[in-house]
């Protein structure tokens, strides 16, 4: 299975009953490319192409074999993200250890031996989709540390974290229902979430 086939199976698996026109839009393929690869996947028994009704419609569904392929594609994507996440956790731990290492000369008491290593090892998981790449990874680490700094500078919140012995943050930004083109959505993300901060920094 090539990358285009996987893209089509992913799109149909994400939305059973997907129309052919919606498939073209979600996969970013031309009519001819989408048609050729779809016919191939139908022939291989991975997708059912259901046509009928008035006006005539064309709906796409995964077969049982197609669903297995879909789950395999999702597992492969998760594994690919995990590689990035592992890198980010390692880099984040290294950064935290570096920024807290100045405390070591003061931690001579046996009670505090290995405190920094224990603290750094408490970073268990980081998830970000889509995964950052290159400079984005460094930017993500910087932003995460800044976010934690803003939270933990409040004594009351530090006390809560110390008592709970856990700090978990989850943000799921689901933009699937936003009726904007990719270009307009990029602009909305910039002006809604980035522009004000750049103004504060005097960069715009």
Q: Where are the domains of the chain?
A: 3-62, 77-166, 173-204
Distance in angstroms (rounded) separating the CA atoms of residues 161 and 155: 10
Contact assessment for residue 70 and residue 24, using Cβ atoms and an 8 Å cutoff: no
Please tell me which of 52-61, 82-91, 100-109, 148-157 the model is most confident about, judged by mean pLDDT: 148-157
pLDDT tens for each residue of 142-153: 888 888 888 989
> Do 4 and 33 touch, CB atoms closer than 8 A?
yes
Considering the domain 3-62 in this protein, what is its CATH number?
1.10.10.10
- Please tell me the predicted confidence (pLDDT) of residue 67: 93
Q: Is the peptide bond before 124 cis (omega within 30 degrees of 0)?
A: no
Alpha-carbon span 118 to 104, nearest angstrom: 13
CA distance 172 to 119: 27
pLDDT (mean) for 118-137: 75
Q: What is the 3-state secondary structure (H, E, C) of the chain?
A: CCHHHHHHHHHHHHCCCEEHHHHHHHHCCCHHHHHHHHHHHHHCCCEEEEEECCCCEEEEEECHHHHHHHHHHHHHHHHHHHHHHHHHHHHHHHHHHHHHHHHHHHCCCHHHCCHHHHHHCCCCCCCCCCCCCCHHHHHHHHHHHHHHHHHHCCHHHHHHHHHHCCCCCCCCCCCCCCCCCHHHHHHHHHHHHCHHHHHHCCCC
Contact 40, 33 (CB under 8 A): no
Predicted confidence at residue 124, as pLDDT, reads 75
What is the model's pLDDT at position 110? 60
pTM above 0.75, yes or no: no
The per-residue pLDDT for range 34-75, each reduced to its tens digit, is 899 999 999 999 999 998 777 778 899 999 999 999 998 888
Residue, of 16 and 52, whose pLDDT is higher: 16
**Which pair of tokens denotes residue 149?**
């700094």
Give the pair of three-digit tokens for residue 74. 């999702």
Residue 46 tokens read as 């991975």
Distance from C-alpha of 132 to C-alpha of 126, rounded to nearest angstrom = 12
Residues 110-131 have a mean pLDDT of 70
């Amino acid at each position: 299975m090539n990358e285009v086939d996987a893209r089509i199976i992913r799109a149909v698996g994400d939305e059973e009953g997907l129309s052919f026109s919606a498939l073209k839009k979600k996969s970013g393929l031309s009519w001819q490319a989408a048609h050729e690869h779809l016919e191939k996947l139908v022939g291989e028994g991975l997708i059912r192409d259901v046509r009928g009704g008035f006006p005539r419609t064309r709906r796409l569904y995964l077969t049982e074999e197609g669903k297995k392929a879909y789950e395999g594609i999702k597992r492969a994507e998760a594994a690919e993200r995990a590689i990035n996440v592992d890198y980010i956790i390692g880099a984040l731990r290294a950064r935290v250890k570096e920024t807290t290492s100045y405390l070591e000369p003061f931690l001579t008491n046996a009670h505090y031996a290995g405190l920094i290593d224990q603290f750094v090892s408490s970073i268990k998981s980081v998830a970000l989709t889509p995964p950052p790449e290159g400079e984005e990874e460094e930017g993500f680490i910087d932003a995460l540390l800044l976010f934690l700094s803003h939270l933990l500078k409040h004594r009351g919140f530090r006390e809560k974290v110390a008592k709970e012995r856990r700090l978990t943050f989850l943000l799921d930004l689901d933009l699937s229902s936003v009726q904007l083109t990719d270009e307009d959505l990029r602009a909305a993300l910039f002006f809604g979430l980035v522009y004000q901060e750049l103004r504060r920094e005097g960069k715009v």
